[in-house]
């Protein structure tokens, strides 16, 4: 029998989603980042009851030192407002509270014109969503660039990589000053573990995006086959 088994906690978010279970070090980090406030409700599996975070003995010391900074961090994660994510199609049906929570699992990355977001053959460690600007997917054929697709505000790429972490199939380069959100495979696993209710609407939207891509590719293939047959008949 384990002498000191770990104690797990859950936090009730402002979006009415229970996050966790996490151990105390992760919970302390949530306090420091402003994700857990003094008034937040926490559940301790050791006691089996919900209590205010400020009343939890394990956290009292941290609130005394970091309450002010935590409050500021909570107001504007990444410096972005949740509403700014509405321009991204995959988030269209999520409400502001869900978007604000999802922001905490994402990175905000900025690229200048011709900046490389990812390279062909690199491990696929996540997906990207274009918040500002424009990017292009390309491959090099005999030293010459061939553009596969151009993606603007609201679009995303790397959906398969975030699920199976397969190598990138093309370079992706910024056409202009661009801001993208990155959801890593590791961060998505954290969402599954800590907030399955938050993961559900995202997975539904992701499946719709993948379905749309498959239909688009199928149509292109059908057009190619039709063109090839017509060419043979000439």
* N-term to C-term CA, the chain: 79
| Whole-prediction pTM | 0.70
Taking residue 50's Cβ as centre, other Cβ atoms within 10 Å add up to 12
Domain assignments of the chain as residue spans, ordered by start = 8-75, 79-223
CATH number of 79-223: 2.60.120.10
96-134: per-residue pLDDT in tens? 888 888 888 999 999 999 999 999 999 888 999 999 999
The per-residue pLDDT for 76 is 44
Instruction: Name the helix (H) or strand (E) containing 18.
Output: strand 18-23
Query: Which band of pLDDT confidence, cut at 50, 70 and 90, is reported for residue 224?
Result: low
C-alpha count within 13 angstroms, C-beta hemisphere, residue 18: 9
29-70: per-residue pLDDT in tens? 888 888 888 989 999 998 999 999 999 988 988 876 544 433
Are both 8-75 and 79-223 of the same fold? no
Q: Which fold has domain 8-75?
A: Dna Ligase; domain 1 (3.30.1490)
- DSSP class per residue in 70-132: HHHHHHSGGG--GGGGGGSGGGTTS-HHHHHHHHTT-EEEEE-TT-EEE-TTS---EEEEEEE
> Does the pLDDT at position 178 exceed 80?
yes
Query: Which band of pLDDT confidence, cut at 50, 70 and 90, is reported for residue 171?
Result: very high
CA separation for the pair 38, 186 (Å, rounded): 28
Residue 167 has what DSSP assignment? P
């Amino acid at each position: 029998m384990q002498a000191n088994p770990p104690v797990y906690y859950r936090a009730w978010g402002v979006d009415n989603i229970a996050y966790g279970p996490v151990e105390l070090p992760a919970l302390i980090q949530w306090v420091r980042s402003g994700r857990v406030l003094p008034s937040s409700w926490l559940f301790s599996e050791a006691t089996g009851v919900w209590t205010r975070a400020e009343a939890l003995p394990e956290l009292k010391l941290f609130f005394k030192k970091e309450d002010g900074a935590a409050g500021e961090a909570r107001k504007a994660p990444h410096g972005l407002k949740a509403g700014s994510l509405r321009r991204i199609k995959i988030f269209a049906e999520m409400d502001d509270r869900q978007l604000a929570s999802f922001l905490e699992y994402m990175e905000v990355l900025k690229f200048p014109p011709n900046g490389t977001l990812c390279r062909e053959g690199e491990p696929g460690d996540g997906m990207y969503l274009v918040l500002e600007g424009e990017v292009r997917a390309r491959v090099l054929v005999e030293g010459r660039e061939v553009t596969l697709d151009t993606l603007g505000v609201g679009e995303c790429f790397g959906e398969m990589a975030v699920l199976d972490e397969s190598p990138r199939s093309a370079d992706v380069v910024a056409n202009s000053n661009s801001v993208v959100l990155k959801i890593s495979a590791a961060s998505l696993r954290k969402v599954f573990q800590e907030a399955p209710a938050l993961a559900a609407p995202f997975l539904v939207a992701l499946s719709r995006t993948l379905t749309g891509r498959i239909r688009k590719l199928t149509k292109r293939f059908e057009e190619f086959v039709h063109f090839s047959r017509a060419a043979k008949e000439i």
